[in-house]
Structure 1
Amino acid sequence: MSVSKVQTLIFDTFGTLVDWRTSIVDDLSRWGAKNGVVLDWAAFADEWKTAYRPGMDAVNSGKRAWVPVRQIYREKLDEMLPQYGLDNVSENDRHFINEVWYRLNAWPDTVPGLERLAKKYVLSSFSNSDFLGMALMTKHASLPFDAIITAENVRKFKPDPSMYEMAVELMGQGNPERIMLVAAHNYDLAHARKHGMATAFIARPTEYGPEQKTDIRAEQEWDIVVASAEQLAQELGC
């Protein structure tokens, strides 16, 4: 697909632009050191993340009414804490721990790449996050977005078609060829392509740690395949 008509880049954020796993491990390690808690925080983060897809699928299928992803993570956190011997953690600390999902740091190439892209394109998030959470993370990670769109806009999660339809309507004024989705996840790009958008894959082979099994590489011939946001900027002439 030609990318010559693209005016707006919409970005998956968790994993694509921010390194959620390393950020959580580092953040909670500091909390643990302050509070005398020693845990394998990498294992903790990995187990916590397992709630993500099943929780969203329950909403998308209608088995559960809409809840934001922060609620899905909070429910899993409350389930996990006793298993890790932390059942006496206060409500304030539970809230602080859960909000770590919005204190995530960008990959080193993210901000330099986006700053270059912003000189030519409109930039927006395209995330399963809730709206406030994305605003908080955008500020924390210094992401130079012009707009924020999230699952909360349609109360469904990717890959529900309403997410992609919403992006086309809001960011392309009904013209999907004006939009490129940038993501590190092949499933996301596949659904964007079905809705007529251009696609760019950024490889993040350590998003899930050193033993990552999925999304190691591009699984289709996406319009652009790169290893960093800075390389994407170069490919798009920025």
Structure 2
Amino acid sequence: MKTTVHALLFDVFGTVVDWRGSLIKNLEAFGQKHTITADWSGLVDAWQSEAHGQLVEQIRERTLPWHPLDDVHRLALQEVLPRYGLVGLTDAEVTWIHRLWHRLEPWPDTLAGLSRLKQHYSVSAFSNGNVALLVDMARHARLSWDMIFGADLFNHYKPDAEFYLRACTLLGHEPEQVMVCAAHNDDLQAASELGLRTAFIQRPMEKGPGGPFESPTGSWDLIASDLQDLADQLGPEIIDYR
């Protein structure tokens, strides 16, 4: 049976944009402007872990009610700020910090890679971010998505099966005609178990210089060093005889 991939779904945080580097850079500038000294990298790591790890998992397990990621980021920020000595900030300052997730920068290869891939495939954001956040980020980083799949469209976070399957349905494709492209093995594992194709994008700098990084651990269809390499490997179409 011949199966052709028609659509690419891209994880966004870490795969397409440099969330950690972008947040640290902006917070360092904030600290210089307001003469505030803090462990900005530690704060960013704790913020991401609290939001994308603990709170999102509690929502998936239904021990917390549904919240879009913007709200999750705000809840996590309020928890993390005092740990790093940031007390007495104004509401406007906290809101400015909170909305830094809307202004993340792409990796150097992202724009050219996506542009090449769009010549042959539909290319969509596929993220636990909410749609408003992802639209703002796309405008800021000049990400020209064909479609934005945010978790609030389905009230499910990855790796819930509903997220993957409903995205395929909305695109009008069978799961085997859709490829998830991500720098995270758990995302690809969930996709693979549901019959979607998989591409692991290596992002050794996601957690910063010398930080831990994910290596591919599964039998993914493709392993690419970046989005330009992914475009080289995919070419005009990827066909699999199954």
Cα shift at 1:82: 2.4
Cα shift at 1:86: 2.0
- Range moving further from structure 2, 83-92 or 13-22: 83-92
Match of 1:231 in 2: 229
Structure 1 contact 10–182 (Cα < 8 Å) conserved: yes
Match of 1:23 in 2: 22
5+ unaligned residues in a row in structure 2: which ranges?
Answer: 237-242
Match of 1:62 in 2: 62
Q: TM-score, normalised to structure 2's length?
A: 0.93
Match of 1:35 in 2: 34
Q: For 2:82 and 2:39, how far apart are their aligned partners in 1? A: 15
Q: State how 1:98-177 maps to structure 2 within 5 Å.
A: 98-171=98-171, 173-177=172-176
SS in 2 for 1:225: strand
1:130-170 Cα deviation digits (max 9, x unpaired): 11001011111111211100111111111111111111211
Q: What percentage of aligned pairs have identical amino acids?
A: 37
Q: For 1:54 and 1:86, how far apart are their aligned partners in 2? A: 21
Match of 2:240 in 1: none
Q: TM-score, normalised to structure 1's length?
A: 0.94
Structure 2 contact 200–222 (Cα < 8 Å) conserved: yes
- Range moving further from structure 2, 6-15 or 47-56: 47-56
SS in 1 for 2:13: coil
Residues 236 and 219 of structure 1: is their aligned pair in 2 closer, same or farther, counting only changes over 3 Å? Answer: same
- Range moving further from structure 2, 121-130 or 66-75: 66-75
The yes-or-no answer on 1:74 pairing with 2:74 is yes
SS in 2 for 1:44: helix
Aligned-CA RMSD value: 1.5
5+ unaligned residues in a row in structure 1: which ranges?
Answer: none
- Range moving further from structure 2, 7-16 or 139-148: 139-148
Structure 1 contact 9–181 (Cα < 8 Å) conserved: yes
Match of 1:91 in 2: 91
Match of 1:200 in 2: 199
Of Structure 1 and Structure 2, the greater strand share is in 2
SS in 1 for 2:200: strand
- One-letter code of the match for 1:110? T
Structure 2 contact 8–178 (Cα < 8 Å) conserved: yes
Count of paired positions: 235
